[in-house]
Chain A
């Protein structure tokens, strides 16, 4: 990676929008390039301060009194005729186009309810606390030390799936192991946590059987989520790789 490429990647990295592979390359460059290190440190610092101040500015900001009432009144008037086909025919063309845009947009986001927390953990793009450079054992040791008991790492039967590192996270009010994988440059998070009762399936998810084993699949905020359980451990896969591909990857994991 060149210094010039660091410039563009630095922002993306702040937003958690780089793949694990890119993140690793970025970090490697920063390790050996003092100039870029100073720049990205300054950048992060400026960015974090500005972002915090911007958020402060809207925290507790309330719309003028009366706006809500006005909106509710208008909705009541409008609601007299239930939304349906009648008003659509009367729409000007530009509005009709907007309808199409919104329709296609909402279809591209498959419905889901529960996976907010899971997707959140994935998109926060936290750094791994242990890297798998020295092999899987290092990750195993780390997890055992953190949780006080060993956790079986999934053994994917997919040579393109590379374990990058891990950290201890929290899901469903329980400790969870967050494993970070790289799959041809795409970032895949695998969360493992103890099964407690039956997995509730979000209404928007569907159930798929692969080789007789059930997988819950769905997507949330543009990320695909696949959940499955093995021996009282729930595994959740989150990534922006294609949904069918993610199911295939999840199914390749040997218990």
Chain B
């Protein structure tokens, strides 16, 4: 890696110039993370204060947005995550995170129907509501990847976990979100799932069993 270190004298106006423009993004992410406007506000405020205290450790020219998100994520994990988790356990049904194929054959068929342009017609609010139901550890990476557009590497730095963990959480988080929305569509009668043909690879066990034999 290239680059060099330096230790400039930092001041408040420099800090404000660099960071305040990211407040909207930080707040948006905080709101989806905490699901509470009050907590989101507190989290953003904590983040800015902490960032200012640590401003000396920020290296000029590096990605300030990612740096701020790292601080916010750390703060969230240390201070709010338990609270949010408790709330989630209390008000969301037990999440079945055992998923079969990344896209089930049923989904492929139901969504291929031209009238079923369901995901395209979804309202932003409906997607957000579904995202709010994704457990917080998975939701966190979905927010960073799909709302903030950070790369896997950046997310790994921000969350403080290996890139492999980012990938599997993102994979899982997106599947849960897609599944929620798909089920929502069925419940609303927007799409109607067809009954599976026998032998369809929806059942993971039989799928793997078959693989073993053919392998």
Which residues of A are at the interface with B, using a C-beta cutoff of 8 A? 4, 7-8, 10-12, 15, 17, 38-40, 42-43, 45-47, 49-51, 53-58, 61-64, 67-68, 70-72, 74-76, 78-79, 82-84, 87, 94, 98-99, 101-103, 105-113, 123, 202-206, 217-219, 221-222, 224, 240, 242-243
Contacts and interface: CB of A to CB of B under 8 A. Distances in A.
Contact of B124 (A57, A72, A87, A110): A57
A20 to B, nearest CB: 16
Contacts of B122: 49-50, 53
Contacts of A107: 3, 5, 59
Contacts of A105: 67, 70, 157
B3 A8 contact: no
B174 A102 contact: no
Given A11-B171, A202-B61, A222-B153, A83 B146 contact: no
Given A8-B102, A221-B151, 16 more contacts: A45-B111, A49-B120, A54-B127, A58-B24, A58-B25, A67-B27, A67-B44, A72-B16, A105-B70, A110-B3, A204-B60, A206-B3, A219-B1, A221-B153, A222-B154, A243-B1
A75 B45 contact: no
B48 A75 contact: yes
Given A45-B111, A102-B70, A217-B2, A7 B102 contact: yes
B61 A79 contact: no
Interface of B: 1-5, 10-12, 15-16, 20, 23-25, 27-29, 31-32, 37, 41, 44-45, 48-50, 52-63, 66-67, 70-71, 74, 78, 101-103, 107-108, 111-112, 119-120, 122-128, 131, 145-147, 151-154, 157, 160, 167, 170-171, 174, 177-178, 181, 211
Contacts of A242: 1
Given A15-B152, A219-B1, A221-B63, A39 B108 contact: yes
In this complex, the member of A83, A107, A110 whose beta carbon has the largest number of chain B beta carbons within 10 angstroms is A83
Main secondary structure of the interface of B (DSSP, over half): helix
A157 B62 CA distance: 33
Contacts, number: 221
A79 B111 contact: no
Given A58-B28, A108-B1, A11 B174 contact: yes
Main secondary structure of the interface of A (DSSP, over half): helix
Contacts of A39: 101-103, 108
16 contacts: A42-B112, A45-B120, A49-B120, A57-B124, A61-B27, A75-B52, A79-B11, A83-B10, A101-B160, A102-B58, A112-B3, A113-B61, A203-B61, A206-B3, A218-B2, A221-B63
Contacts of B20: 68
The 4 closest A-B pairs by CB, nearest first: A110-B3, A111-B61, A58-B28, A49-B119
B125 A71 contact: no
A53 to B, nearest CB: 4
B60 A111 contact: yes
A229 B63 CA distance: 27
Contacts of B157: 105, 108-109, 222
B107 A42 contact: yes
B171 A111 contact: no
A205 B62 CA distance: 12
A219 B3 contact: yes
Contacts of A83: 10, 52-56
A11 B127 contact: no
A45 B119 contact: yes
Contacts of A17: 151-152, 167
Contacts of A62: 24, 27
A150 to B, nearest CB: 33
B59 A106 contact: yes
B114 to A, nearest CB: 12
A204 B3 contact: yes
B25 to A, nearest CB: 7
A71 B24 CA distance: 13
A99 B53 CA distance: 10
Contacts of B49: 71, 74-75, 78
